[in-house]
Amino acid sequence: MNPDRIRVAILGATGYTGSELVRLLTPHPGVDLVAVTSESRAGEPFSAVHPSFRGIEDRALVTVADLEDMDLDLMFLALPHRVSMEFVRDHGLQRCRIIDLSGDFRLPSAEMYEAWYGTPHVASEFLGEAVFGLPELNRTAIAGARLVANPGCYPTSAILALAPLLERNQVSPEGIVIDSKSGVTGAGATAGEGTHFPRVFGNFSAYGLLGHRHTPEIEHVLGLVAGEEIDLLFTPHLLPVDRGILTTAYARPRPGVDAESVTAALHEAYADEPFVRVCPTPPGIKDVRGSNYCDVFATCDPRTDRVVTVSVIDNLVKGAAGQAVQNLNIMFDWPETTGLNQGPVNP
Amino acid sequence: MNPDRIRVAILGATGYTGSELVRLLTPHPGVDLVAVTSESRAGEPFSAVHPSFRGIEDRALVTVADLEDMDLDLMFLALPHRVSMEFVRDHGLQRCRIIDLSGDFRLPSAEMYEAWYGTPHVASEFLGEAVFGLPELNRTAIAGARLVANPGCYPTSAILALAPLLERNQVSPEGIVIDSKSGVTGAGATAGEGTHFPRVFGNFSAYGLLGHRHTPEIEHVLGLVAGEEIDLLFTPHLLPVDRGILTTAYARPRPGVDAESVTAALHEAYADEPFVRVCPTPPGIKDVRGSNYCDVFATCDPRTDRVVTVSVIDNLVKGAAGQAVQNLNIMFDWPETTGLNQGPVNP
Amino acid sequence: MNPDRIRVAILGATGYTGSELVRLLTPHPGVDLVAVTSESRAGEPFSAVHPSFRGIEDRALVTVADLEDMDLDLMFLALPHRVSMEFVRDHGLQRCRIIDLSGDFRLPSAEMYEAWYGTPHVASEFLGEAVFGLPELNRTAIAGARLVANPGCYPTSAILALAPLLERNQVSPEGIVIDSKSGVTGAGATAGEGTHFPRVFGNFSAYGLLGHRHTPEIEHVLGLVAGEEIDLLFTPHLLPVDRGILTTAYARPRPGVDAESVTAALHEAYADEPFVRVCPTPPGIKDVRGSNYCDVFATCDPRTDRVVTVSVIDNLVKGAAGQAVQNLNIMFDWPETTGLNQGPVNP
Amino acid sequence: MNPDRIRVAILGATGYTGSELVRLLTPHPGVDLVAVTSESRAGEPFSAVHPSFRGIEDRALVTVADLEDMDLDLMFLALPHRVSMEFVRDHGLQRCRIIDLSGDFRLPSAEMYEAWYGTPHVASEFLGEAVFGLPELNRTAIAGARLVANPGCYPTSAILALAPLLERNQVSPEGIVIDSKSGVTGAGATAGEGTHFPRVFGNFSAYGLLGHRHTPEIEHVLGLVAGEEIDLLFTPHLLPVDRGILTTAYARPRPGVDAESVTAALHEAYADEPFVRVCPTPPGIKDVRGSNYCDVFATCDPRTDRVVTVSVIDNLVKGAAGQAVQNLNIMFDWPETTGLNQGPVNP
């Protein structure tokens, strides 16, 4: 399936995921963006909600109901979790393919979802069909999927660093610790006390200890790679920057493993990947700002017998909208980098 | 002159202007980037100097001497001032067209240059031929130029706000005050005491009072527009951000001028401009981050009888490399937006 | 009047002005802080609202009604404007002296207040008695005042730079332009869309053009100093930092004025002032962070015939709570620096 | 030993440790600061090097040689490592007591020093006498010490979180992981490529993996507490802020340990400590900015069987100069909080 152009809608325009999708899709040569929805701001221009887009994307926002008669090839759901699964439950997958950027279809079972999200899953009949949209692991399944669950931002950074090492039996699945640090856009576009500028500026703190919802997503995907169940500890922190995630992960090496072998494992895994760069020194989040790259680094400390990995992404690009576009390219059999050739904005 | 593709070299790779040119030219469909020079890092990959470009631009840096036998259509001089004019003096304009991003060819006379730059001009015979590369004012001359003097960052922001008002006789050329605020990349890529992170973080200060080199550039160009000599006061400040300039300018309105008329003047001037957006409210620097836009706003205060303008650019794009690419597009008769369709990276 | 210790209450604990007062008063040797009020959080410890104060100030917040039977020498009103004047209207000045940190008693007439604040003044009978609490101008009146109107943050920075020049007839009161830049704490502690971290980070913008409420405050006070009415243009901007204001002001010099004479005027005015430092080069906001200093600089440009001043304060200290404590020291005849000897926190 | 006042010199004025000592000692009621040295800037006022101190500390800097005839009770060595030990070797401890803020006397043996610092120890005869200056562990020894080795910033944050748990046998000394994040002042006052503002702003990165010099300091001190040798993995990261360290540490709980027991251990250890606050939720670095507090938090995850601690300090205060003043207070038998009663500057 490789049409010249496809017709696409974005559901949910007020959040950062929605605006970042518009940023990336506007210059995409294969996509006709036919509608962008917002229930609360319908009728207003997209650029009234996101003034940076003035003159770039001024179309009027519509409601989901307005999509009814449109001919669509794909929908991006840039909706809050719960709202996404309600939409899928109500509309199904007959009409067009869906890439969901919420957390609603990332976990394998309704039980696990309910345990971590604290709310029942209302469209569990679609969980079996949903494909976890991490191209580096699931490219073939994504190509044929009707429903792609776009990965979480933290999971993308953690899985891309650890999966090659678990897959190649370089590290033990026991006792993994993942210490992540994210920019504030990860908390969404809605203002609140915790994201008030004077509180975050010059500050740095941990949050969501022991119970963050991305924990089971990382555990499940890495468990599949390792071939056994994994319990890992995940600690997110809030960085006083707008974009970017850096994840430092710690694992026990298997006997014989050293810095060279873990580096070689990453190189082997990602030799042909257009968006993963294996680095000789630990990368910084600004190395990937605005781009779809994930930069990864690994080493091994013989003194303490530990493997350490460092990985960085732009949480809004490879951690959300960019990865979604990469999935779209795969689903429509275009070169994976189509529309994603913007280099990092650094400095 | 509209070849399918041209051959281009960038002279000077270690600075931010050089790296930003590479960022913008890499996806440009009409440009073959055949060489990037650095005398101090020749032989190393470009990405060794700028690690964000790993996998994007890994070519080895060459020296200027290495360019000797290359067939080139255009050179970007991303060199320090003085070095640029020495290069032009030594190599002339016979070989290929030049866009100079330094300050060496922006002023109309060697005397003025010496007065503000404190050093003699060594290639004054080329000053007459140099075209000031602000497309919104000089498009026709740029199209045929052999030597384009790419405007300074502060001047770009100030001139685009004030020129339409002076040209339409909305404001007096007497007593203009320009209060500008720039991100730290404007100070260049070389580390120094004044750009040490702990000194700039959480700080804000004025610098270069009364004597900044961009003063005569703004005065000269606005003087041409106004049709009379202008003395204006320009005060730059250092913002604790990486990219962006915001310029607030103050001028005396002519009789009968009001907020509507100054806004109308901007709309009239920029109706067909692809990169200037007239805003209904004062813009912020993040509205244009990473893009080639200049956003402008104007109003008039009847109470104090003052016109106030606010304009923003990304100093590395519309203030430097992006404008240079826009000039290249004009020089080779391509659509002006070629390679510049990346929207603002916001948030 | 110089008692060993006085009994003080702070009305309004949830804002930044309230918490900064607590920070400064805790180590003050002459002050017994007997109560801190909050209607919305009464009963909770102060440190539950401001966790940095854990172990420092854990007392339970009370309501204004709870103050009824307390013996008090002074109240700080750290309340929103309108609420302050309602309190004064209802409780009068019989009971104890008041320092009001809102804008309610800074302007000379109910008409001017209504014009700029858009709401009627409900306690205009106290306007005549209120003393504008800028020690450098009003020390004697403050000493005997029952009601001190603590100056606004922007006005403090602007008046301290310009008053000595107007008073000494160094500059004309005509055509003054004040371009100010403030950190985000100036916008208060309540989270909103405009102070959402991802919006402000890496950004810079102007706001409140032509109509900011501090305009008439500056005009009125400088008009008194100049001995004639002044209309000046004031433009505030939002800096992506937490604390600090830098004000750049532009004025026309009188004949014979030069850089030396304006500098001498500042030195003369502030020779004995404990909290104003005249600087040989333009100061930055971090030079005064956390302290009660105002650093000022002035120069004169013969080329364009302009005087330029640069002044900086910490908006929460000299721009609010610190100045209030300085006023308290004057009112109770203590050394003016009592409790204010904390140097700038830099870097 | 409790004199009313003592005579103190600071050796090394150009760095941040030196300037922070001056900030804290200026209002200290028991200290006469009689000299501040700088070999490179001798003769200049201290405030010429640190302009924030204008009017606060303008004394001329002297050389170390100038100290010869001065009567001194204590010297702070705010010198680079190597320079400190050379000074102690050359001058001994006969003359006055010394608090050394470098890393030269923190490790127990010349061998360990050489292994991690890559240079021989030249004053190893003093290592036995040096007392590790962490008051919460070593108060008695500090009181009588002639030479105090002031702890490193990272070690202070890590040890204060973990020592109570190791001491009370709540966690295993095996397999501890310490993931720390520091503001840029930790890298010192000397400008370099790695601390150039445009490189650090909006960025975040790991550095010094596996080999940071604070590793053996943490291991040694925690080993003493645990009563057995410890090998732990320490990973520092560079935060884009000026001040502050947050350390997240991971350890294996002993059987029966839970969130309550680790919290209780902290409360028990720090019940009487003036500068350690045990927090019910994870603290942020701004909770302690500018103050001598260390805020600590601990919890235990039964799911993954891990203890997690989070601790924060201001690296220049509790991580350097503030702790040094606390040590001075102990050495001269003053209340430990003397001169350190400044609350956190937040926001």
For D284-322, write each residue's pLDDT tens digit.
999 999 999 999 999 999 999 999 999 999 999 999 999
- Three-state DSSP class for C331? helix
User: Quick check: is B23 in a domain?
Assistant: yes
- Three-state DSSP class for D105? coil
Statement to judge: residues D89 and D211 lie in one domain: no
pTM score, two decimals? 0.98
For C158-199, write each residue's pLDDT tens digit.
999 999 999 999 999 999 999 999 999 999 999 999 999 999
* Digitized pLDDT (tens) for each residue of chain B, 347 residues in all: 678 899 999 999 999 999 999 999 999 999 999 999 999 999 999 999 999 999 999 999 999 999 999 999 999 999 999 999 999 999 999 999 999 999 999 999 999 999 999 999 999 999 999 999 999 999 999 999 999 999 999 999 999 999 999 999 999 999 999 999 999 999 999 999 999 999 999 999 999 999 999 999 999 999 999 999 999 999 999 999 999 999 999 999 999 999 999 999 999 999 999 999 999 999 999 999 999 999 999 999 999 999 999 999 999 999 999 999 999 999 999 999 999 999 999 99
Match 């309105």 to its residue by tokens: B253
User: Do the Cβ atoms of A343 and B55 come within 8 Å?
Assistant: no
Statement to judge: residues B78 and B166 lie in one domain: no
Does the pLDDT value for residue D64 go beyond 80?
A: yes
For B21-64, write each residue's pLDDT tens digit.
999 999 999 999 999 999 999 999 999 999 999 999 999 999 99
Does the pLDDT value for residue A1 go beyond 70?
A: no
Do strands C233-238 and C245-251 pair parallel, antiparallel, or not at all (unpaired)? unpaired
Which pLDDT score, from 0 to 100, does residue D1 have?
Answer: 62
Which pLDDT score, from 0 to 100, does residue B193 have?
Answer: 96
Report whether C159 contacts C178 (CB < 8 A).
no
Of A186, D12, B252, the closest CA to residue C198 belongs to: A186
pLDDT band for C1, please (50, 70, 90 cuts): low
- Three-state DSSP class for D118? coil
User: Quick check: is D90 in a domain?
Assistant: yes
Does the pLDDT value for residue A2 go beyond 90?
A: no
Report whether A173 contacts A202 (CB < 8 A).
no
Which pLDDT score, from 0 to 100, does residue A285 have?
Answer: 98
pLDDT above 70 coverage of chain D, percent: 100
Q: Report the CATH number that the domain containing residue A17 is assigned in CATH.
A: 3.40.50.720
Q: How many CB atoms lie within 10 A of CB C29?
A: 9
Q: Report the CATH number that the domain containing residue A175 is assigned in CATH.
A: 3.30.360.10
D294 is catalytic: no
Which pLDDT score, from 0 to 100, does residue A232 have?
Answer: 97
Report whether C100 contacts C74 (CB < 8 A).
no
**Residues of A at the D interface, defined by Cβ within 8 angstroms:** 175, 177, 179, 181, 198-199, 201-207, 209-210, 231-233, 235, 237, 239-244, 246, 248, 250, 282-286, 289, 299, 301, 303-304, 306, 308, 310, 347
Query: C183 to chain A: which residues are within 8 Å by CB?
Result: 198
For D193-245, write each residue's pLDDT tens digit.
999 999 999 999 999 999 999 999 999 999 999 999 999 999 999 999 999 99
Does the pLDDT value for residue D26 go beyond 90?
A: yes
> CA-nearest residue of chain C to D55?
C277
- Three-state DSSP class for B36? strand
Statement to judge: residues B88 and B168 lie in one domain: no
Which pLDDT score, from 0 to 100, does residue C2 have?
Answer: 78
User: Quick check: is B192 in a domain?
Assistant: yes
Give the closest of A191, A201, A241 to C196, CB-based: A191
Statement to judge: residues B215 and B303 lie in one domain: yes
| Mean pLDDT, all residues of chain D | 97
User: Do the Cβ atoms of B343 and A56 come within 8 Å?
Assistant: yes
Report whether D35 contacts D13 (CB < 8 A).
no
Statement to judge: residues C113 and C260 lie in one domain: no
Query: A185 to chain B: which residues are within 8 Å by CB?
Result: 347
Which pLDDT score, from 0 to 100, does residue B1 have?
Answer: 62
Query: C171 to chain B: which residues are within 8 Å by CB?
Result: none
Statement to judge: residues D145 and D161 lie in one domain: no
Statement to judge: residues B104 and B163 lie in one domain: no
Which pLDDT score, from 0 to 100, does residue A3 have?
Answer: 83
Statement to judge: residues D23 and D109 lie in one domain: yes
Statement to judge: residues C167 and C109 lie in one domain: no
* Per-residue 3-state assignment (H helix, E strand, C coil) for chain A: CCCCCEEEEEECCCCHHHHHHHHHHCCCCCEEEEEEECCCCCCCEHHHHCHHHCCCCCCECECHHHHCCCCCCEEEECCCCCHHHHHHHHHCCCCCEEEECCCCCCCCCHHHHHHHHCCCCCCHHHCCCCEECCHHHHHHHHHHCCEEECCCHHHHHHHHHHHHHHHCCCECCCCCEEEEEECHHHHCCCCCHHHEHHHHCCCCEECCCCCCCHHHHHHHHHHHHHCCCCCCEEEEEECCCCCCEEEEEEECECCCCCHHHHHHHHHHHHCCCCCEEECCCCCEHHHCCCCCCEEEEEEEECCCCEEEEEEEECCCHHHHHHHHHHHHHHHCCCCCCCCCCCCCCCC
| Mean pLDDT, all residues of chain C | 97
Which pLDDT score, from 0 to 100, does residue D231 have?
Answer: 93
Report whether B103 contacts B81 (CB < 8 A).
yes
pLDDT band for A246, please (50, 70, 90 cuts): very high
User: Quick check: is D176 in a domain?
Assistant: yes
User: Quick check: is D341 in a domain?
Assistant: no
- Average pLDDT, stretch A73-94? 97
Does the pLDDT value for residue A4 go beyond 90?
A: no
Statement to judge: residues B167 and B311 lie in one domain: yes
Which pLDDT score, from 0 to 100, does residue C4 have?
Answer: 87
- Average pLDDT, stretch A214-220? 98
Tell me which residue range forms the domain holding A297: 154-314
**Residues of C at the A interface, defined by Cβ within 8 angstroms:** 16, 183-185, 189-193, 195-198, 200-202, 240-242
Statement to judge: residues B162 and B290 lie in one domain: yes
Q: How many CB atoms lie within 10 A of CB A128?
A: 9
How many structural domains compose chain A?
2
> CA-nearest residue of chain C to B231?
C304
- Average pLDDT, stretch D341-347? 95
Which pLDDT score, from 0 to 100, does residue D309 have?
Answer: 98
User: Quick check: is A342 in a domain?
Assistant: no
User: Quick check: is B158 in a domain?
Assistant: yes
pLDDT band for D4, please (50, 70, 90 cuts): confident
Statement to judge: residues D145 and D174 lie in one domain: no
User: Quick check: is A343 in a domain?
Assistant: no
How far, in Å, are C160, C247, C311 from residue C297 at the CA level? 10, 10, 6
Amino acid identity of residue D66, one-letter, is D
